[in-house]
């Protein structure tokens, strides 16, 4: 009996590391809006960075509302993307950070470096 309960616990705690990146239909030629869902972590940044860096739109907004976990590697990938886009004369914004992600960004001291907005609409309005 204990073993079965223990296995249920591990399955719940040890969820797979997955990050879905969906380009939303509201995107245009100059504005790309992506919805991230899952974990932005050491295990997922190697897929996230090439996809996000390849975006040609001048402005990118990442909807982070469905990001269930963000670690230091994930934060590093966001900073890398921000710097890369800034060096190309492009913009990058984060929107709708979940409380855990907001806490990680705050502990890292990046709330003043990365453009962060409460909603996607607020981020888009700031670009106008």
Structure tokens at 85: 């886009």
Q: What digits encode the pLDDT tens for the residues 98-119?
A: 999 999 999 988 988 899 999 9
User: Rounded to 5 degrees, what are φ and ψ at 20?
Assistant: -100, 135
Show the domain range for 59: 16-127
The answer to whether position 89 is within a domain reads yes
The answer to whether position 104 is within a domain reads yes
Give the number of domains in the chain.
1
3-state secondary structure of 114: coil
Give the predicted TM-score (pTM) of the model: 0.85
How many other CB atoms are found less than 10 A from the CB of residue 73? 16
- DSSP letter, residue 1: -
Q: What digits encode the pLDDT tens for the residues 15-71?
A: 668 999 999 999 999 999 999 999 999 999 999 999 999 999 999 999 999 999 999
Q: What digits encode the pLDDT tens for the residues 9-25?
A: 445 555 668 999 999 99
The answer to whether position 102 is within a domain reads yes
Task: Return the residue matching tokens 């990938």.
Answer: 77
């Amino acid at each position: 009996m204990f073993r079965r309960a223990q296995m249920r616990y591990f399955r719940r705690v040890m969820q797979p590391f997955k990050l879905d990146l969906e380009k939303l239909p509201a995107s245009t030629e100059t504005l790309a809006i992506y919805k991230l869902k899952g974990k932005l972590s050491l295990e997922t940044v190697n897929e996230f960075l090439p996809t996000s860096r390849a975006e040609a739109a001048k402005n990118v907004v990442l909807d982070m509302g469905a990001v269930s976990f963000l670690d230091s590697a994930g934060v590093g990938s966001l900073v890398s993307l921000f710097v890369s886009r800034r060096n190309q004369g492009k913009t990058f914004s984060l929107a709708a950070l979940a409380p855990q992600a907001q806490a990680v960004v705050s502990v890292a001291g990046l709330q003043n470096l990365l453009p962060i907005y409460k909603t996607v609409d607020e981020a888009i309005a700031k670009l106008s």
